[in-house]
A = this chain, B = another copy of it.
């Protein structure tokens, strides 16, 4: 019997939000080697007697100050364990995807010198490369979010408790990077059973006719789906 290899297990977080009609991710600037000074996804090591998801939620709060109640949605994304992905040696990283509405100004903590919320397009740019294989992890998370908006009600995770159809459409447009017809989108969303539920309230203060306020519905899956292409 050969000796079994034991590896440190990390969780890394792809934290997405929509800010100024752009899909953005939260990254921190590393304060220690390796990759000191470079931007990276927040994350940390799993502790004893802690599940992977618990570790992800703990790191989310510790590294960014986001409280559990502020998280719109969290799910496991994928696991990365290629030899050489960390120059210090073999490390397994279980990536989690978190969707957050109205992400507040980040609070740097732990070994992070700085934190920022930046458009995902700027982060996958090859010149300002993210540390480790984090660009790949981020892209996996972005693609997961894009795909799940099609056939689930996940888009509401980017909105607060109360939202207008307009703001929900802005979420789709930001995540997909594509304009949608306001009229058809409105009908589609309000006619899909369980997607959104109308309240008696209306928005105010903007130009134009006030919009009705909606809350999230019960449905998780959308039938039929809302497709990005075609």
Residue numbers of A with Cβ under 8 A of B are 2, 4-9, 45-52, 76, 78-83, 90, 92, 94, 151, 223-225, 227, 229-230
Contact A9 to B81, CB < 8 A, known contacts A223-B229, A225-B225, A230-B224? yes
In the bound complex, do residue A6 and residue B7 qualify as a contact, i.e. CB atoms below 8 Å apart? yes
Q: Which residues of chain B are near A151, meaning CB under 8 Å?
A: 151
Output the least CB separation between A31 and chain B (Å).
Answer: 14
* B90 A92 Cβ-Cβ under 8 A: no
Please indicate the chain B residues that have their CB under 8 angstroms from the CB of A47 in the complex.
2, 5
Task: Give the residues in chain B near A79, CB-CB below 8 Å.
Answer: 52, 76, 79, 94
Complex partner residue of A5 from B46, B51, B94, B227, CB under 8 angstroms = B46
The distance in angstroms between the C-alpha atoms of A223 and B225, with both chains bound, is 12
Selected contact of A92 from candidates B92, B225, B227, CB within 8 Å: B92
Question: A1 CA to B223 CA in the complex, in Å?
Answer: 50
Separation of A138 and B76 alpha carbons in the complex (Å): 17
What is the chain B residue whose CB lies nearest that of A52? Answer: B81
A6 to B91, CA, bound (A): 9
| 6 extra A-B contacts, CB within 8 A, seeds A7-B8, A48-B90, A52-B79 | A4-B45, A6-B8, A7-B7, A51-B83, A76-B78, A223-B230
CB-CB under 8 A from A76, the residues of chain B are 78-79
Alpha-carbon distance between A76 and B144 when the two chains are bound, in angstroms: 14
Q: A225-B225, A230-B223 are in contact. Are A51 and B81 (CB under 8 A)?
A: yes
Q: Smallest distance from the beta carbon of A84 to chain B beta carbons, Å?
A: 9
Distance between A174 CB and nearest chain B CB, rounded to angstroms: 22
- Contact between B48 and A5, CB atoms less than 8 A apart: yes
Can you offer 25 A-B residue contacts whose CB atoms are under 8 A?
A4-B8, A4-B45, A5-B8, A5-B45, A5-B46, A6-B7, A6-B8, A6-B9, A7-B46, A9-B9, A9-B92, A51-B81, A51-B82, A51-B83, A52-B79, A52-B82, A76-B78, A76-B79, A79-B79, A79-B94, A92-B94, A151-B151, A223-B230, A224-B230, A225-B225
